[in-house]
Homo-oligomer: A and B are copies of this chain.
Amino acid sequence: MDLLFLGTSSGTPTRARNVTGLALLEDTGRGWHLVDCGEATQHQVLRTPLSLHELRAVFVTHVHGDHCYGLPGLLASAGMHGRKAPLHIVAPAGIEEWVRTTLRLTRVWLPFELHFHAAESLGEWRGGSLRVEAVALSHRVPCYGYRFSEARPDPRLNIDKLDRHGIPRGPLWGQLIRGTDVQYEGRLLRSDDYLIFDRPPRRVVVGGDNDRPELLTEACQGAQVLVHEATYTRAVANDARADFGHSTAAAVAAFAEQAGLAHLVLTHFSARYQADPKRSPSIEDIRAEAAALYRGRLFLAEDFARFHLGRDGELHRVEPDRRGDGHAP
Contact = CB atoms under 8 A, between A and B. Distances in A.
Interface of A: 11-15, 18-19, 39-40, 42-44, 46-47, 63-66, 68-70, 72-73, 76-77, 80-81, 94, 97-98, 101-102, 105-108, 140-141, 323-325, 327-329
Q: How many copies does the complex hold?
A: 2
A98 B107 contact: no
A42 B43 contact: no
Contact of A15 (B47, B94, B97, B107): B47
Contact of A80 (B11, B14, B69, B102): B11
Contacts of A108: 65
Nearest to A63: B106
Contact of A327 (B68, B81, B327): B327
B42 A13 contact: yes
B94 A98 contact: no
A13 B76 CA distance: 11
A138 to B, nearest CB: 16
What are the 9 tightest A-B residue pairs by CB atom distance, in nearest-first order? A329-B329, A40-B40, A43-B329, A39-B73, A15-B324, A98-B105, A12-B77, A69-B73, A63-B106
Nearest to A45: B13
A39 B70 contact: yes
B80 A13 contact: no
Query: In this complex, which of A14, A106, A108, A141 has the most chain B Cβ atoms within 10 angstroms of its Cβ?
Result: A106
